Chains A and B, each alone.
Chain A
Amino acid sequence: MKNGVLMKSDAVSLRGGWNVEYNYAVGQVGQRFFQALKQGMIIAPKCPACGLVMLPPRAFCERCFVPVKEWVKVASAGTIQAFTIVPVKFESLPDPPYAIAFVLLDGADTALVNFVKNIDLSDLKKAAEKMAIGTRVKVVFKKRRKGSINDFHYELLDI
């Protein structure tokens, strides 16, 4: 302070933080989906009205506004619909570089996001060309699965 005026060197801020833990209910749909993942399978609910096969799974069709009951098995391969490669670090997110893609699995009608692994990301431009929209990928399951969305990732086919 100088003559009652706060100087730049006086400017203060107070450190703080939030650290709240949660237990998210996964619902009956989530339980069924995660059980299938544990068995190395991706299943998806199908709308009784419009037939939309939706991933991520949900208990209702957002378009028809009706509950879904039927499930179908989708393939462990699909087509990239959108992708990105992240070469910089964000707080609490994975260490870079990593690649993310929305993939339309064969038999599904909406795209499911996951990491694309085992791809050389050292040259961003080359990696982006390899992941172009339309590129085929496969689902690779972990050997030890917990019944969570992290039980699998995508890898490019034909490399």
Chain B
Amino acid sequence: MTRRKVAIIGVGQTQYRSQHEATLPELAQQAALAALEDADMTMEDIEAVVFSMGPSEFVGMNDPEKWCVGAVGGRNRPFMRINTGGATGTSAIHAGFYHIASGIFDSVLVVGADKVRECKDSQQVLNTIWDPLYERQFALTTITMAAFQAVRHIHLYGTTEEQMALIAVRSWKNALNNPVAHLKGRITVEDVMKSPYLCWPIKKYEICPSSAGGAAVVMVSEKKARRMGCRPAWIKGCSEFANTVFQGDQMGGRAEMDFADSDILAMAAKEAFHQAGIANPLKDIQVAELYAPFTICEISMVEALGFCGKGEGGRLNERGFFDIGGRIAVNPSGGTLCANAIAVTGLARVCDGALQVMEKATPGMQVEGVRNVVCHGEGGSFQFHAVVVLGAE
């Protein structure tokens, strides 16, 4: 089946912060209205709604999309909820893309919100993503997951804690130019190194915040985009691959892939790059907006994306390779280390990527000469990797 071309013509994000006065539906609506305004459309122009909602337990309501239907224009329209954990927002973009690429719809609103801090401790919730019979008992959290990846990356490739710390330093600095970022500032490697260990070797400044916020994207068919005469971000490639929930399957002599590496991302990227006609990612892609909730993840991911060889991510970052103005700008928004409203973080990566392609990012955040951007979401036990490639044409 041939796919129709799909264009992102509007994006909207609320501020990300620990708490918002607004309720979850109100927050989702703020994002929806911002994206519609950006697209110069109203809800009347939208044919279907995809709701981006990850685990329900952070906001403490069973399947919260029900609460939000009215707030995001879902009444009397096709409406569905997408959930792949942290990768949810990226998967929701995929769902919206398929709505239009299939020829069934011409305009879709992809929208969501999350309030991760409304629960007392997000790690209490995240512990429950693992097997209840054999694994959950051992206090597994997403921070221990990052720790396991880090100790293996350090062991296999000699990556250092200072190299990991520098990822946080760049992210916080980049976020200074992102008006919606939750965490931002000028910090040093020493500051990160001195921050307390949460799960050895992961330190406090190396983990994402628990954020509240909403994000939304308006996407339309090519016919509609051409008629509107705007400069859209075209969706050139979409791919998502999954892996086992068992971290221990990716360690030891017969492991098909190593937990240090993000080989599932490599698979998803290969397919998405193929769809987008990208032969050499380092040459053809100018910006990467990655779902890296911990410093080590970003190092592993830039390697999986083929920006460098396995084990080279930390060293190249020290040379400014991934800075704005470097070889390829990684997370010029500050990325997930600077805001993580989990249900919409993948969506935020696409919003920030689309802003780059549309040349609407704020000064300082905008990268020069952007032709292609890779946006990414990661979820579960580092087991879902979703990729979206956006391009100027």
- The chain A residues found within 8 Å of chain B, CB to CB, are 6, 11, 13, 16-18, 22, 24, 26, 30, 52, 54-57, 62-63, 81-88, 90-94, 98, 100, 102, 104, 108-115, 124, 127-128, 132-134, 149-150
Contacts and interface: CB of A to CB of B under 8 A. Distances in A.
B139 A100 contact: yes
Interface residues of B, number: 44
Interface of A is mostly: loop
Contacts of A132: 155
B283 to A, nearest CB: 35
Contact of A113 (B124, B135, B244): B135
A117 to B, nearest CB: 12
B137 A93 contact: no
Contacts of A124: 197, 200
Contacts of A94: 139
Nearest to B147: A84
Contact of B139 (A6, A98, A133): A98
Nearest to A27: B133
A93 B124 contact: yes
B151 A82 contact: yes
A100 B60 contact: no
Given A18-B60, A82-B151, A128 B200 contact: yes
Interface in B113-162: 118, 120-121, 123-124, 127, 131-135, 137-141, 144, 147-148, 151-152, 155
A82 B259 contact: yes
A82 B197 contact: no
Given A56-B134, A82-B152, A91 B198 contact: no
B196 interface: yes
Interface of B is mostly: loop
Nearest to B144: A84
Given A82-B147, A112-B134, 16 more contacts: A17-B60, A56-B248, A81-B248, A83-B151, A85-B199, A90-B124, A100-B144, A102-B251, A109-B252, A109-B254, A111-B248, A111-B252, A124-B200, A133-B152, A149-B133, A149-B137
A128 to B, nearest CB: 5
Contacts of B199: 84-86
B256 interface: yes
A88 B140 CA distance: 13
A35 B156 CA distance: 37
17 contacts: A24-B132, A24-B133, A30-B133, A56-B246, A81-B251, A83-B148, A86-B139, A86-B200, A87-B200, A91-B121, A93-B141, A102-B251, A104-B251, A110-B249, A115-B139, A134-B155, A149-B133
Interface in B275-330: none
A118 B200 CA distance: 18
Interface in B38-90: 57, 60
Contacts of B124: 90-93
Scoring B133, B152, B246, B251 by chain A CB atoms within 10 A of each residue's CB, the highest score goes to: B133
B144 A86 contact: yes
B132 A102 contact: no
B346 interface: no
Contacts of A55: 248
A92 B138 CA distance: 12
Scoring B124, B141, B200, B201 by chain A CB atoms within 10 A of each residue's CB, the highest score goes to: B200
Scoring B123, B196, B246 by chain A CB atoms within 10 A of each residue's CB, the highest score goes to: B246
Given A56-B246, A83-B151, A84-B148, A110 B252 contact: yes
Contacts of B196: 87-88
A47 to B, nearest CB: 11
Given A56-B134, A90-B121, A112-B248, A84 B200 contact: yes
A114 B202 CA distance: 19
Given A24-B132, A133-B155, A93 B251 contact: no
A107 B147 CA distance: 26
Nearest to B132: A24
Nearest to B131: A56
A64 to B, nearest CB: 12
A114 B256 CA distance: 22
B134 A102 contact: no
Contacts of A52: 254
B248 to A, nearest CB: 3
B229 interface: no
Contacts of B123: 90-91, 93
Contacts of B252: 81, 104, 108-111
Nearest to B253: A109
Contacts of B188: none
Contacts of B247: 82, 102, 111, 113
Nearest to A113: B138
A93 B197 contact: no
